[in-house]
Amino acid sequence: MNMSVIVSIKKEKGLIRVSNDKGKEWIFPFNDGVEVDTSDAAALALVANSMLTGTIASHLQHSDAKELTYKLTLITK
């Protein structure tokens, strides 16, 4: 199995927009300037962790492979 997905995480005024190259998009409200226990980085890490975990779980469910290997690449514009 050789699959790939490109995920983009963008911080915009008042929201975090997460999308992939398969046409899916998720929008999370984000209140700038509000005192909370979570930093911007932690909130983004939580979203990224959820997406990666979901991807791995899906691949495990739909693959007969004995080993799955992932390569994470940062693409900057």
pLDDT of amino acid 23: 92
Write out the chain in H/E/C secondary structure. Answer: CCCCCCEEEEEECCEEEEEECCCCEEEEECCCCCCCCCCHHHHHHHHHHHHHHHHHHHHHHHCCCCCCCCCCCCCCC
pLDDT of amino acid 55: 82
For 1-48, write each residue's pLDDT tens digit: 566 778 888 878 888 888 888 898 988 887 665 555 567 677 778 878
pLDDT of amino acid 2: 63
Model pTM score: 0.59
